[in-house]
């Protein structure tokens, strides 16, 4: 049975999203203040999240970068409080200095949208015992949706992640510390996202845990004609259940309570013996 960051993956695990930012695409500003971010994380723990993912820089399409010092200021105090409360915390960042500060504060996982391609990032993770999520992104947050282009998105994304995994292994990061994320919505069209989701089973070739983030994503809005990200829960749950049926091990979500209920029903039906 696979494990990741000390969690058994015998059932789908949930990563709850805490955006300590004023400008995230679906909940911008709601958890920006320190106490709001901590409260959000604690509530998610109580509701059943297995990991709390704390981020201090929005990576929505078109987002501008944040100074590293500001990102640290937004995230480290939140991480310290959540770790003290017993949370398993991941830091959502693409910057080595933020990774180091977060790990020093007690985070156990680095969740990097750039798959440790930033200066110094690979070294920071390699010299610690932290687990890492390597996500695929074509371009950068400010340019990724300008003109994403693939001949075969599902295969190309898989192969790109395979290359990053090999780089990590060569750097001394043990395989059991690595998970991958195909990066739904990060430099991909609606059609690209659907192809990747439809063919998620090809990730079995990597023999690694797969994290998937579909919660409130714009492709759901495009298909469902719903411009308001906070009204995309039904579509988010539909995509999440499809993903776990195809073998995804972890889901990164905004709506923990509702996703837990959906997974419980899915599991009960799947495992029922008449």
- Retrieve residue 190's tokens: 């609606």
Residue 8's DSSP bridge partners are: 3
Q: Minimal CA–CA distance to 190: which of 161, 225, 165?
A: 225
Residue from 217, 231, 232, 270 carrying the catalytic annotation = 217
Query: How far apart, in Å, are the Cα atoms of 150 and each of 164, 196, 219?
Result: 18, 12, 17
- Tell me the two tokens of residue 55: 């981020």
What residues contact residue 238 under an 8 Å CB cut-off, 6+ apart?
A: none
Concerning whether 217 is annotated as a catalytic residue, the answer is yes
Within a 10 A sphere around the Cβ of 46, how many other Cβ atoms?
10
**Residue written as token pair 């690595």:** 178
Residue 232 phi, psi (nearest 5): -105, 20
Q: What is the dihedral of CA 73, 75, 76, 79, to 10 degrees?
A: 160
* Under 8 Å between Cβ of 14 and 212: no
Total length of the chain: 274
Burial class of residue 31 in the structure, from the number of CB atoms within 10 Å of its CB (0-12 exposed, 13-18 middle, 19+ buried)? buried
As given in the structure block, the two tokens for residue 262 are 């959906």
Say whether 244 sits in a helix, a strand or coil.
helix
Q: Is 252 a catalytic residue?
A: yes
Q: Are 167 and 245 in contact (CB under 8 A)?
A: no
Read out DSSP for 68-100?
HHHHHHHHHHHHHHHHHTT--EEEE-S-HHHHH
Q: Which residues are catalytic?
A: 217, 252
């Amino acid at each position: 049975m696979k494990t990741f960051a000390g969690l058994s993956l015998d059932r789908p695990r949930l990563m709850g999203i805490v955006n300590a930012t004023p400008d995230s695409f679906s909940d911008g500003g709601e958890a920006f203040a320190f106490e709001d971010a901590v409260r959000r994380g604690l509530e998610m723990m109580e509701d059943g999240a297995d990991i709390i993912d704390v981020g201090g820089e929005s990576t929505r399409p078109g987002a501008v970068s944040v100074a590293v010092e500001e990102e640290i200021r937004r995230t480290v105090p939140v991480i310290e409080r959540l770790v003290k409360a017993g949370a398993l915390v991941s830091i959502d960042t693409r910057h080595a200095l933020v990774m180091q500060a977060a790990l020093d504060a007690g985070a156990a996982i680095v969740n990097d949208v750039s798959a440790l391609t930033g200066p110094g990032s690979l070294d920071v993770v390699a010299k610690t015992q932290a687990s890492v999520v390597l996500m695929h992104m074509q371009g950068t947050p400010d340019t990724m949706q300008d003109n994403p282009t693939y001949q075969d998105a599902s295969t190309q994304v898989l192969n790109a992640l395979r290359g990053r995994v090999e780089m990590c292994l060569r750097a001394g990061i043990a395989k059991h510390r690595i998970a991958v994320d195909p990066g739904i919505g990060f430099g991909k069209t609606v059609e690209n996202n659907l192809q990747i989701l439809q063919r998620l089973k090809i990730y079995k070739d990597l023999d690694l845990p797969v994290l998937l983030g579909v919660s409130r994503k714009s492709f759901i809005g495009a298909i469902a004609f719903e411009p308001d990200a906070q009204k995309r829960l039904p579509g988010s749950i539909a995509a999440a259940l499809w993903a776990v049926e195809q073998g995804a091990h972890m889901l990164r979500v905004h709506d923990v309570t509702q996703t837990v209920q959906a997974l419980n029903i899915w599991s009960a039906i799947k495992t029922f013996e008449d």
